[in-house]
Structure 1
Amino acid sequence: MKPSWDPPATRPSPTTIRDVAAAAGVSLSTVSKGLNGTGQLREETRQRVLQAAKRLNFRPNDLAQSLLRGRSFTVGLISADRYGRFSIPILEGIENALESTRMSVFLCNAADDANREREHIEQLLAKRVDGIIVTGRRSDPRPPLEVSAHSVPVLYAFSQVSDSKALCLLPDDVGGGRLAGEHLIAAGRRRIAHITGPEDFEAVKHRCAGLKQAVEQNSLPWRVDDVMSGPWSEMWGRYAVDDLLDRNQKIDAIFCGSDQIARGAVDALRDRGVRVPDDVAVVGFDNWQIIAAETRPALTTIDMNLHELGRQAGLRLLGMINGEDQQSGVIRLPCSLVTRESCGASRPVQPFARDNTLEGLA
């Protein structure tokens, strides 16, 4: 009786360098030289080797080649950002920086799990990566990677450690907050409130400090009561707007610590019949396209330029891999302002009158 199922097909053996040598009619050493572009071979011989390898779908053993070259042409990216909101644009920037070197990036998601992170580190070291970049979902200090017994260079991007010898690349959150405040003030806004995230976040403190600098440097009063900290959510933005305007009807601008908060704030203002930007201008932070571009009106916001941060991380790690001296410590890269309708970007900016700055603001 015939069986009712077919036995699994036998997996064909992978093509070896010996198969390529036989097909091209050359020695093993000639195949190696032809594939690696080394040695003195006639062009006709080199092409015969390459054509035979292509015809047989031969793939060199990358691990064996990396042992010979002392390089694997791979780097690891360890992230705690499980949703990819920050790590994906950073990854794209890293890949952009390494594209010309034909280096590949292994993305490992540790998801704030120390044990999982250690497992990823062991796997990356076993793969003999040439370097490791560490990123996260927030820029607050974290423990350094435990790779001191290995010579692999490590760099932190949108992440930082307290080790002064480490290289950490971060957005300039103070500069971003100052940029938002200066833009609103240049548009003639005089009473700027701030709705932001949890006050224990370093970025929250820095963005608030930047806004305060802009306000005080333009001789406007800084009112602590107009600063509200809470969760990173649209719901918090809606609640905070209601609380702020119930206490103070003179607010004419709101700088929000994230685009999510800003979207909730815009919704709450609309529900109260407050026109954005006519009555109250709104600026967010992140330039998260799926939020900022779809908010009505579209959201003016601060861009952390994470792609460029990732590109700088890739370039600097490449320099470390090549043995070049790199600056250590925390380096903060500039943010930029993306203007849309929520701050009145489509209208002429009114000059800010300094002669009556304090009138009616108390």
Structure 2
Amino acid sequence: MTVAAERTRLSDVAQRAGVSLATASKALNGTGRMTTETRQRVQHAASELGFRPNTHARALIAQRSFTVGLLTNDSYGRFSMPVMSGVSEALVSKGVSVFMCGVENDPELGRIHLDAMLDKQVDGIIATGKRGDRQLPAELAELPIPVVYAFSKGPDDAVTLMPDDAQGAREATEWLRRSGRRRLAHVTGPEGFAAAEVRAAAFREIAGPDAPVLFGDWSEAWGHEAAARLWDGGNGPDGIFCGNDQIARGIIDALRERGVDVPGAVGVIGFDNWGVVVRATRPPMTSVDMNLAELGRQAGRLILALSSGEDVAPGIRHLPCSLVVRESCGGAGPDRMTA
């Protein structure tokens, strides 16, 4: 039975054609990469169901507003602000403005902000968040405009940018080895976080399968507790790679309280290169920088390309991290980048 035209939605077409919402949208808009057979199957399903694309959606594709929306659930701004900075840097010289909306973890708030962006006829949307293995609470799959995911999980057929956690973790662990450290340990956040598990696996590639890995919270308090565990019953490690800077700072403070010299007896490396933490730590902390501003710049360039009708291959693109060497593990004086 044919669904009445006024009640037919894109999701009905996608279900009839056996494709995702995003693929159905791209097939009907004449965008995206797919086989001719898939595009024709979607178009045939739309014809059978009497589906007619919204005229406003067509207008969004045909016109340019020279604005881009950025959606985030990172209300603190720890990760979204560097991304936003990079996006703006990439777009401002092209005459494109960026406005950011915080959606917290509220689907209703996500819908409100998304509707506002569509009303403003933005040329595209960049989705970013506070962790890369979770999607934002906003339905972005059916949109008639391009979406780029930056430090946020996207669907398989989307363009997604992520820092290369494994590469950053390997580089940190290799630096500890090259600094003469042999008894290595890794202290990180909760199991179940993709970043924590990827970094731990990369650490063990270099340190060995029996090297201790301690999972806990992303907090200084956990760093203190982890130090106590590592030093209970004897000598602890001489090199510690931490899953973030807050954990590393907690460990460094705990070692100072125990009278353990950093970096003389133990080298410590953090992850995130959060300026307010790494430079205030004593000694200043060596840390892995995820290069989120560069990730934002690339997201901005990609959203421009997509909104101009260029064909951009979907998939996850991992951008390299950089190790910033300071005094907590082998550095002295100005910050030194190793990659």
TM-score tier, shorter chain, comes to: 0.7 to 0.9
Pair member with larger Rg: 1
Alignment check: 8 A CA contact 2:105 2:136 kept: no
**Are 2:146 and 1:153 aligned?**
yes
Q: Which residue of 1 aligns with 2:259?
A: 273
Question: Offset of 1:246 from its aligned partner?
Answer: 0.7
SS in 2 for 1:331: strand
**Are 2:331 and 1:345 aligned?**
yes
Q: Which residue of 1 aligns with 2:308?
A: 322
Alignment check: 8 A CA contact 2:237 2:266 kept: yes
SS in 2 for 1:101: coil
Q: Which residue of 2 aligns with 1:305?
A: 291
Tell me, which stretches of 5 or more residues in structure 2 are unaligned?
Answer: 1-58, 334-339
Q: Which residue of 1 aligns with 2:91?
A: 98
Q: 1:257 aligns with which of 233, 243, 250?
A: 243
Q: Which residue of 2 aligns with 1:189?
A: 181
Using the alignment, how far apart are the partners of 2:141 and 2:179 within structure 1?
A: 52
Q: Which residue of 2 aligns with 1:331?
A: 317
Alignment check: 8 A CA contact 1:278 1:344 kept: no
Using the alignment, how far apart are the partners of 1:232 and 1:150 within structure 2?
A: 35
Question: Offset of 1:80 from its aligned partner?
Answer: 0.6
**Are 2:270 and 1:284 aligned?**
yes
Q: 1:229 aligns with which of 215, 232, 256?
A: 215
Using the alignment, how far apart are the partners of 1:83 and 1:243 within structure 2?
A: 31
Alignment check: 8 A CA contact 2:107 2:137 kept: no
Q: Which residue of 1 aligns with 2:69?
A: 76
Alignment check: 8 A CA contact 1:160 1:330 kept: no
Distance 1:297 1:106, change over 3 A: same
Question: Offset of 1:144 from its aligned partner?
Answer: 8.1
Using the alignment, how far apart are the partners of 1:346 and 1:150 within structure 2?
A: 50
**Are 2:140 and 1:141 aligned?**
no
Alignment check: 8 A CA contact 2:85 2:293 kept: yes
Give CA-to-partner distance per residue, 1:33-79, whole Å, 9 cap, x none. xxxxxxxxxxxxxxxxxxxxxxxxxxxxxxxxx99x82111010000
Q: How many residues align?
A: 275
Question: Offset of 1:143 from its aligned partner?
Answer: 6.1
Alignment check: 8 A CA contact 2:106 2:137 kept: no
Question: Offset of 1:146 from its aligned partner?
Answer: 2.6
Question: Offset of 1:327 from its aligned partner?
Answer: 2.1
Letter in 2 for 1:321: S
Question: Offset of 1:247 from its aligned partner?
Answer: 4.0
Question: Offset of 1:101 from its aligned partner?
Answer: 1.1
Alignment check: 8 A CA contact 1:297 1:342 kept: yes
Distance 1:148 1:160, change over 3 A: closer
Alignment check: 8 A CA contact 1:158 1:171 kept: yes
Question: Offset of 1:346 from its aligned partner?
Answer: 3.1
Letter in 2 for 1:73: F
Q: 1:180 aligns with which of 159, 172, 185?
A: 172
Q: 1:164 aligns with which of 147, 156, 160?
A: 156
SS in 2 for 1:81: coil
Give CA-to-partner distance per residue, 1:108-145, whole Å, 9 cap, x none. 00111111111111110011000000000001132685
Alignment check: 8 A CA contact 2:219 2:246 kept: yes
Using the alignment, how far apart are the partners of 2:239 and 2:141 within structure 1?
A: 49
Alignment check: 8 A CA contact 2:290 2:320 kept: yes
Q: Which residue of 2 aligns with 1:86?
A: 79
Question: Offset of 1:149 from its aligned partner?
Answer: 4.5
Using the alignment, how far apart are the partners of 1:109 and 1:143 within structure 2?
A: 10
SS in 2 for 1:117: helix
Question: Offset of 1:250 from its aligned partner?
Answer: 4.4
Q: Which residue of 2 aligns with 1:23?
A: none
**Are 2:205 and 1:213 aligned?**
yes
Alignment check: 8 A CA contact 2:223 2:250 kept: yes
Alignment check: 8 A CA contact 1:93 1:307 kept: yes
Using the alignment, how far apart are the partners of 1:174 and 1:236 within structure 2?
A: 22
% identical aligned pairs: 50
Letter in 1 for 2:174: E
Letter in 2 for 1:103: V
Question: Offset of 1:325 from its aligned partner?
Answer: 1.1
Tell me, which stretches of 5 or more residues in structure 1 are unaligned?
Answer: 1-65, 217-221, 348-362
Alignment check: 8 A CA contact 1:73 1:102 kept: yes
Using the alignment, how far apart are the partners of 1:342 and 1:159 within structure 2?
A: 31
The 5-angstrom pairing of residues 8-19 of structure 1 reads: none
Alignment check: 8 A CA contact 2:123 2:307 kept: yes
Q: Which residue of 1 aligns with 2:34?
A: none
Question: Offset of 1:148 from its aligned partner?
Answer: 4.6
Give TM-score, length-normalised by structure 2. Answer: 0.78
Letter in 2 for 1:303: D
Using the alignment, how far apart are the partners of 1:75 and 1:309 within structure 2?
A: 16
Question: Offset of 1:248 from its aligned partner?
Answer: 4.7
Two-structure CA RMSD over aligned residues (Å): 1.9
Letter in 1 for 2:165: D
Give TM-score, length-normalised by structure 1. Answer: 0.73
Using the alignment, how far apart are the partners of 1:212 and 1:228 within structure 2?
A: 12
Runs of 4+ off more than 3 Å: 147-150
Q: Which residue of 1 aligns with 2:120?
A: 127
Q: Which residue of 2 aligns with 1:243?
A: 229
